[in-house]
Structure 1
Amino acid sequence: MTETHARERIAALGRSIFQRGLTFGSSGNISVRVEDGWLMTPTNVALGDLDPARISKLAPDGRHLSGDAPTKETMLHLAMYRERPKAAAVVHLHSTHSVAVSTLAHLDPEDVLPPITAYYVMRVGRLPLVPYYPPGDAGLAEAVGKLASKHHAVLLANHGPVVAGTSLEAASGAIEELEETAKLYLLLQGHRTRFLTPEQVAALRERFPS
């Protein structure tokens, strides 16, 4: 993917995410690995209003090279890339249902959501909870980095999901699957529910490693 194409794809995805209500205001950020660094969405800009030419360009060492100032979550994105060399894109949203789940008191911090559907297991896998840190805090990036080598998706407590993927489409597809599963999980509260069995989950993970 050329840098020009990557910029256009980031803007198109941001617009789609914003128009479908998966994030709001100037929340959420997207990044893509390019040959000579990274492209990241700018700080304080709504994903629905991205100008491809003004998307931030960062050097391999994280220095801001061009475009508007990058997202305050730059360190979080770089932590994911550092631990996942094959990651081509990272998407972070404040999607409503995922954030709601991240505030619940009874969560298993090693695997937040149960295996409700096969596609959740295939696209997300295990979802650990990262303890709360203020947005942009260096401690948040460090905490994400400690989990990223084993998990391509994490949920930030009282904040939202972060997902890395081998392509922009893979990352966005996984984070949308996560959000839909969070919505189902909240809808099912108080109902007797049949989740996938451990055997069914193991078979899916063997066939579709995340």
Structure 2
Amino acid sequence: MINKEQINTFIQEAHRFGDEKLMLCSSGNLSWRVGSEAIVSGTGSWLPRISEEKIAICNIATGERLEGVRPSMESSFHLGILRERPDVNVVLHFQSEYATAVSCMKNKPINFNVTAEIPCHVGREIPIVPYYRPGSPELAKAVTEAMKEHNSILLTNHGQVVCGKDFDQTFERATFFEMACRIIIQSGGDYSVLTEQEIDDLEVYVLGKTAK
């Protein structure tokens, strides 16, 4: 059973994402795995000032709402990601200023690796999902599929989704994602990216992984 302390933690973290201006009003949604259940922000709720009355508790396996208000219209892909990714406990859909501007560009960048933080934390590759109506089954399916092997994705004319093992990792991915997009836009498109060898070196010498 999800307890009061866990609900308060969820609320505090939602406010932290809002304080960083990762979303405006009701434009974002958040979920957190707690055992076999998930705390999910309610439909139409404002993460920057969400309260207990705007929270839903859902069964991850079935998607059934167990307690609280109706979950976010995007809860299908939140729960889908949690089902497909046992290593993930937090999912955030957000619409930060620069990353959302990039999502609306006609000619979107195919490489976001402008600084070392991007391949190290956001993802060496960031898939771009075509536009689907918010809350639609098509969007839920596309997002869940894209997030099977990625931790961050861009939604065309919509926003972004990131996930992580905890709130801190998710927050880090979201803020560095926004940083990369700010660099891309403020450079006027005249920016450089890390080479494949430079990224391999980061994975070996910074992250301690075997180079791809």
Q: Using the TM superposition, give the Cα deviation of residue 4 of structure 1 relative to its aligned residue in structure 2, in angstroms.
A: 3.3
Unaligned ranges ≥5, structure 2 = none
Residue identity in the other structure for 1:181: A
Residue identity in the other structure for 2:198: Q
SS where residue 153 of structure 2 aligns? strand
Residues 122 and 176 of structure 2 are in contact (CA less than 8 Å); yes or no, is this contact kept in structure 1? yes
CA 1:42–1:164: 2 relative to 1, 3 Å: same
Q: Using the TM superposition, give the Cα deviation of residue 17 of structure 1 relative to its aligned residue in structure 2, in angstroms.
A: 2.5
TM-score if structure 1 supplies the norm length? Answer: 0.89
Residues 53 and 69 of structure 2 are in contact (CA less than 8 Å); yes or no, is this contact kept in structure 1? no
Distance 2:173 2:98 in 1: 15
Residue identity in the other structure for 2:200: A
- Correspondences of 1:1-20 after superposition (within 5 Å): 3-20=3-20
Q: What does residue 43 of structure 2 align with?
A: 43
Q: What does residue 99 of structure 1 align with?
A: 100
- The percent of aligned pairs where both chains have the same amino acid is 28
Residue identity in the other structure for 2:127: P
Residue identity in the other structure for 2:65: H
Residues 56 and 68 of structure 2 are in contact (CA less than 8 Å); yes or no, is this contact kept in structure 1? yes
Q: Residue deviations 1:173-202, cap 9 Å, x none?
A: 1111101111111111243x3322221112
Structure 1: which 4+ aligned runs deviate by more than 6 Å? none
- Correspondences of 1:24-173 after superposition (within 5 Å): 24-52=24-52, 54-60=54-60, 61-107=62-108, 112-125=110-123, 126-173=125-172
CA 1:54–1:25: 2 relative to 1, 3 Å: closer
Counterpart check, 1:197 vs 2:195? yes
Q: Using the TM superposition, give the Cα deviation of residue 54 of structure 1 relative to its aligned residue in structure 2, in angstroms.
A: 4.4
Residues 7 and 53 of structure 1 are in contact (CA less than 8 Å); yes or no, is this contact kept in structure 2? no
Residue identity in the other structure for 2:171: S
Residues 113 and 185 of structure 1 are in contact (CA less than 8 Å); yes or no, is this contact kept in structure 2? no
How many positions carry a matched residue from both structures? 204
SS where residue 72 of structure 2 aligns? coil
TM-score if structure 2 supplies the norm length? Answer: 0.89
